[in-house]
Amino acid sequence: MGFDYDLDFKHIDFRKHPEKYKVGRGEQGVLLVEPYKSEILPHWRFKTPEIAKVSSEKIYQLFLEYKKENDLVGMDMARKFLQMGYTRARRYTNYKGGRKYDKEGKINDRQIDETKAESAAIFMKKWKMAREDEEYLKCKKEHQRRYG
């Protein structure tokens, strides 16, 4: 079962109602689930490797704080933001301005930006640490067993 986009996200506090959270694929729901979005989004940046390093470390620290609280929703959201840091930095690595398609819908030529590639690699490292964390995987499996 995937992420449930039919929920009234504006009126759900997922910290109080984790049973309503469905673990989706990839980055599904990353900009919808509160209060986590508001806690993590202000730290999400990848413009330069230096900024990406500070950002990914802060988001990973939040992941660890949620882990201490046994908060699967928080851990999963932090993992999603780390993943999104990687995927967005990769998009900007490959396409100037992050735009894959031109106004006519044709794919723009790739122009590799090594700075953004380095930012992506920084996020990839932290994303991998989060997604492979044994306690996270155990909590995720239990959450899926209990709530779908």
Instruction: For the chain, list residues with pLDDT below 70.
Output: 1-2
Instruction: Enumerate helices (H) and strands (E) in the chain, giving the number of each.
Output: 5, 0
Q: Are 77 and 139 in contact (CB under 8 A)?
A: no
Q: Are 100 and 62 in contact (CB under 8 A)?
A: no
Q: For residue 91, give every residue at least 6 positions away whose Cβ sits within 8 Å of its Cβ, in sequence order, or none.
A: 98, 100
Query: Looking at residue 19, what is its pLDDT?
Result: 95
Query: Looking at residue 29, what is its pLDDT?
Result: 87
What's the whole-model pTM score? Answer: 0.91
Domain limits of the chain? Answer: 31-147
Whole-angstrom distance, CA of residue 4 vs CA of residue 17: 14
Query: Looking at residue 80, what is its pLDDT?
Result: 97
